[in-house]
Structure 1
C-alpha cells in the first residue's frame, strides 16, 4: 500500500496494519492552541458514537478531573464532501497541567473503519480567537483524493 505523509510517500505492507499516527502542530514557544491530527479505527461492529464513548472511557483512566463540556454533531469541510462527525469540548488535568480541548471525530469515508480525530488543545480556556481558528480548521478540511 502507498502511505502518504506531508513530506512524501512510501510503500508499506498491506497486511491489515492500522494507521495510528499523529501530527502535532504547535507554536515554537509552546504558547497558543496546538492542533493535533490523530488516526484510529472503529472496532468490528462499532459505530462512531460507540468509538467516542470508548475513547472517553479510556481518557478518564489516563487523566484527572475530566469534564465533558459539550458533545454534538458537526460538519467537516465543505458540504460537497458531506462529512459529518461528533464534536466534543472537554477539560482535564494531565501531569498537573490544565488542558482544554475541542475535538472533531469522523470517519474518513462512509463505511470505512478509518477514523480521523482533529483536536485543538490549549492550557487556557478557548477565547473567541481560538474558537475561530478551530472553526476555520474544520471548515477547511478536504479529503485526499483516493
Structure 2
C-alpha cells in the first residue's frame, strides 16, 4: 500500500497492517514488524549527527539494557540517494519485553524538520525483515 503522511509517502506491504494512531502501523495481532513514523526538528545549529546522539542519550535514560548494534550513514529514497540519513540498529527491553529496532533518521528538504522511520520487532531481524526495511526506505518520496 502507498502510505501517505504529510511529508511524503512510503510503499509498505499491503498485508493487513492497521494504523493504530500517531502513525503506528502494526499487524492486528501485534506480530511481525511494526512501522512507526515520527517527526522532530533540529535545534538551532544542530547537525543531524548531533540530533541522533541527543536522541540516543534520551533513549538510554528511558529504556532498560539498550544496546546500539550499529550506526551508519545511508541514503533514503529512490536508488537510496535522495536524502542523507543515519541508520541505527538497537535492541533493548521495554516493559520486560525484548525489542529490536531499525531507525532511519533523515532531514527533510526544508532543512530543519527531521523524519524518523522505525521498524520494531520482538524478534531479531531476519533476511525478509531486512529486505522489507530496505524496500521501505527506498520507496520514500518527499511530498513536493
Q: TM-score when scaled to structure 2?
A: 0.83
Residues 56-94 of structure 1, C-alpha deviation per residue, up to 9 Å, x if partnerless?
000000001000000001110115962111000000001
Residues 86-125 of structure 1, C-alpha deviation per residue, up to 9 Å, x if partnerless?
000000001111000000000011x611000000000010
Superposed structure 1 runs of 4+ greater than 3 Å apart: none
1:59 corresponds in structure 2 to 59
| 1:131 partnered with 2:136 | no
| 1:37 partnered with 2:37 | yes
Structure 1: runs of 5 or more not aligned: 7-20
2:107 corresponds in structure 1 to 107
Q: Separation in 1 of the partners of 2:80 and 2:133? A: 20
- Which of structures 1 and 2 has the bigger CA Rg? 1
Q: Report matched runs for 1:18-29 at 5 Å.
A: 22-29=22-29
The size of the alignment, in residue pairs, is 127
Structure 2: runs of 5 or more not aligned: 7-20
2:74 corresponds in structure 1 to 74
Answer 1 or 2: higher relative contact order, Cα 8 Å, separation at least 6: 2
> RMSD of the TM alignment (CA)?
1.9
Q: Separation in 2 of the partners of 1:24 and 1:140? A: 18
Q: Is the 8 A contact 2:99 2:122 kept in 1?
A: yes
